[in-house]
Structure 1
Amino acid sequence: MPGHILVLDPAPAMQALLAHNLGGAGYRVSCAVDARGALALLAATAPDLLMLEWALPDASGIGLLRQVRQDGVLCDLPIIMLSARDSEQDKVLALESGADDYLCKPFGPREMLARVHALLRRRAPSALRASSGSSVAGDTVLRLDPHTQRVTAGSVPVNLGRVEFRLLHFLMDHPGRVHSRAQLLDQVWGRGAYLDERTVDAHVGRLRHALQPGGCGHRIETVRGSGYRYLAFDAAMCA
């Protein structure tokens, strides 16, 4: 599991603390103090995960997060936002902007490492590996090919990130069935993922946005008080 982690935090003490604990767990750690340095390291070293402080001397961490998510090469990079901001509004903003997880300062090293381990599980959860036998899921309007990882909505190609693809794949394999946020965390992110359930809402929002140009955003339906479900073509036509 150990890989290469880029820590972007302007505080030397926090850099040293993260490098010490991550290094002790077997990870290779690089550090940057500002957005410019981080972008150079991202291009040069291709890390497996970015730990990103919200408050940077030369940019907004949220702005950098959005920039990375719009990059064709870096868009799937796992990112943990670090911040002393602890309001629900700030956490939701970070998740909706593309963060995979959010750690409020101060945090304990065991919690930090547990979240890093969870994000770096590269294998898809078993529920996705054992999905339906058909090579292409969906119908004549919305189609997903798990082998090529291509999705089309109508005749429109849909560009999805790693997590959004897994989420859509799982929901399409269980059409009409309602899944709670906790169940989706287990099945899509993997059991033991230390993530807030609002992470699911953020990724569902991004998935719907990506499907909207092809007229399929409504296929991911919110079931109030329960969770989410995928509407197959016939059900979507009747909705």
Structure 2
Amino acid sequence: METKNNRAATAADQAVSALEAKNLSAGYDDHNVFENMNLDLRKNEILCLIGHNGAGKSTLLKVLFGLQPYSAGEVLLNGQHIVPSPSDMAGHGISYVPEGRGVFPGLTVKENFALALWSAKMTGSVADERVDEVLGVLPKLKDFWTRKAGQLSGGQQQMVSIGRAMLCKPSILLLDEPSIGLAPKLFQDLLEPIRAVQKQRGMSILLVEQQVGEALNVSDRVVVMKSGEIIYRGVPADFEGDHAKLMEMF
């Protein structure tokens, strides 16, 4: 049962954002995809970022992880200014799962995991424990553990990509459209165990999605982005039973 003290602790946790974009501007060549962007991912929550193709969602995630430069504004990690780079963000416990999965198709699932462990400098019993933990969360990985990732279905590859990202026990997870190529039921089967782990560990997850119904089922808040601007901030209950209302926004 949640006590008054627990509620107070949760509120205190969320008072400082886990990751925040503040007046951020970024784009490609001479064109800004977004300007003066403000977005806060709070501690211990799943924030769903929704919008049409080209709205700037993926660009924002790349900027937050340090894969794309920004021209103005700042990024805050736990309330402190940071200039993101993939190595630094990974060192701070942030994992990023790109759109399109990004597995190594010529390697087995086991080898994909081994490469991620090597990159994170995890060896021996620590590495074994991390693999066991991920397989406990996503047990279906065991069914194709020794198969090459390129031979797997889209849903299986997505599971590999997310499992690999979870090896380092991230405090923040950035997920860019994990539903691509997946049926709604398969997408939900993938999200539910991640939601359970998120609650257990107090992770913060920024979920970029277009499968509105399934994404909102596991989210705490929702932000709608259109043409580089945030046009709505709210909670999933705002659209309960009326997802069409949300779709009409973008």
**Higher-strand-fraction structure:** 2
TM-score, length-normalised on structure 2?
Answer: 0.31
Q: Relative CO higher for 1 or 2, CA cutoff 8 Å, sep ≥ 6?
A: 2
